[in-house]
Chain A
C-alpha cells in the first residue's frame, strides 16, 4: 500500500527541462531502459518552458474505463497500474483516451506500461524515482498537509476535459497569474514594466 498521507505535486513552472526524471525513470529495475515519463519542450521559439508529464492517477481512470480487456487496475490506495500482461491486447485505447497522454503501448512487448507512482518504492515508504532526483523539485512528493507551507502555488486535482470532469490523486500546481514570466528578451528590453 502507498500511504495516503503523501501527495505528488507537479509544478511545470519550476521545470528546467533537464530530463533527469526521464533518464532516472528508465533506470528503475522494472522499466529496463524504458522511461514512463514524458517531458515536452512546449515552444522553444517563444519560451524555455518545458513540462513533465507523469500519471495523474485518476479517481475513475479513463484508461481503465476504455480498456476492452479489463487489464488496467486501480489499487485501493489510488494508484493506477500498468496493464496486466496476460490481459493486455495492445489495442492502444488507453493511449488514445488518456486526457494527459500518459500510457505507452510498447511494440516489442505488445503491452501498455505506464507510470505507477514507482509502486515498488512508494509502497515501501520511499519517494518515486523522478521526484527524488528532480533538481528543481518541479516533481515533489511530500506529505499533503505540508504543501501549503512549502509552496506558494496552489494544487489542483480536478480537471475538465471536454465534457468530462476528471479528479486525480496527483496534483498540478497552478501559478499566480500576476507573477511575471519573461519570454522574449526584445520585448523585455522594450517594455519590461520596470
Chain B
C-alpha cells in the first residue's frame, strides 16, 4: 500500500460511513416523531388508559303482584385474563395459595376453550371479601387477575316458570349478530330464552365504564372519570305466581297419575312423559300461568354448561327435551276440543240451528264413498237424537262427523274451506303473537295445503286430493290438524269473551328500581270474531253440560267442585296420534257466567281427556276458587 496518501482517503471513507449512519438515524427519528407520530400518540393513550366495563345489575322479573321471580345476588369472583398473565405459573401459584384451590384446578378453568382469549376467565366464585381486597391491593403480585363483585341471577321461586322466564348466558356469535350495534361484547350476559331474551333491552340496563390510569405493571394510579352503570328496569309480568305454581304442580301430578294407569289400547301403562298448561285471562289476553313439563332449573345456566353435559341433560330424546316450552312450541291434534270450533262454524254458517238434531246411532257413513267411509264414535257408543248442546256435552262424534260432511256437501255455497276459515279466525294455524318466541304456527289443513304438500313432498304425502272423509275427520279435531296449547286456550278465550282474539301478553309493565312505572303493555287485539250471542250461548251451554251434566265427559273430574258458585264450562279431547298413546286434552272456562280464567291442559300419551286432563284443570281451578287443592290428581274413568 502506498503510504501517506491512502490514510486520508480511507479516513474519508470512514467519515462518509459515519455521516451516513447519522443520516439514517435522523431520518428514522423524523419518521417516528413527525410523520408517524399520531399513531404513536394514540398507542400511548391506550397504554395508559384501561377501560373497565362495569356491567349493570340486570333488572328483576316480577309477577303481577310484585313478587320477585328473578332477582340478583352479588358474589365475589376472581377472573384471570389469559392475555395479560405474564408469569402464568408464578401468578397461578400465588392465586392457588390465596384461594386454597389446587393449581391444576385453576389451570383447567383457565384453559376452558369456551372463553374468548381476550375475555377474563372466572376461576373462582363466592370468594371472601378479604380475597377481593387482597388481590386488588397487590396487583403487582397478580397481574391480569381481577377480583370483582358481580351480580348474578337468583331464582327465589326455584324452577317456577322456568320456560316462561328463560335463562341467561354468555353472548355467543349468534347473540352478537342478533344484537349487533348495541354494544355487546363476546361473553357479555344476555337473555337466551323466554322473558329474559324478549325483554333483554329493558332488563339489561346500561353498562358503566370506568377509565383508569395504569402504569406498566397494571397498577391503577387513579380514575380518569367514569360513567356509572344504570341498572336494568324490572319487568312486571301478567303471571300470577300462585296460579303458576298450581299449574306446574297439577301438571306434574296429572302426568304422574296417568303413568300409574293401564292403557287398554297399547296394553301397557301410559308413558305420560310431557305436557303443558296455559291459564289465560280471557278479558285481556293476559297469561296467568304457563307450564311445560318436563322442566329445568334456570340456575344451571349461571355457569357455562359443558357441551357433553348439555347434550345429556337437554338433547337426549330420553329427557323429552326439557328446554322446549310445549305451551308455545308443542304441536298436538286437538281432538274433541276442536268440536267447539266446528259447532261455532256450523251455527254461524247456518248448517244447523241450536235446535237442529242428528240421530247418533254410533257411526256415520259418508254417502257415495269409496275407501274408508264409516266413522264411529269413540268407544262405539250411540247417543240417539242430539242437538249441538247435547253433542258437546257428551262429545258425540257422529253429530260433528255430520257437520264435517255437510261442510263438504255445501262447499259450492260456503266455499271449500268454511270450517277451516273459522278455525283460523279463532287463531288456530297461526302464531298467537305472544311476545315470547319461538312459537309454532300449527296447521289447519285444507284442500289447498294438501295439494301443496303433495307437490312438494310426494313421498310423505302420497295423496294430493282432499276427500269428504278429510272434512269428517277435521270436524272432530283429527287428521293433519295441529295446534299449540296456547292457541287452544286462546281460541276458547275468544269464545269466552264474546269474540275478541287477543295476542296473549306476558308482560304488564316496566318499572324502574324505585318502582315508578316506565311503560305499560296494553292488551293487543288481533281481531274481532263474529260470535252472535245466540251462537255463543248455545256452545257455552254445551260446554257447561260437559262439566255439570252427569252424562258430561268431564263430570267425574269435577265431582265435589262448587259449580254452583263457580260454574265451569269445558271440553274434553282425546287425540289419536299414530305410533303413540292418546293425547289427553281439556279446556275449561271459569266462571262460565263471567269468564275470568281459561285453562288449557294437554298431556302427551296419557289417555282420555276427561280421565287424565280434566282433573288437572280441576285442581288448578280448586286453587283459584280458594279451595285447598287435593294432594294428588285422581285419574277418572270415562270416555273421550
Task: Verify that A and B bind, or say they do not.
Answer: no
Interfacial residues, chain B to chain A (CB-CB below 8 A): none
Interfacial residues, chain A to chain B (CB-CB below 8 A): none
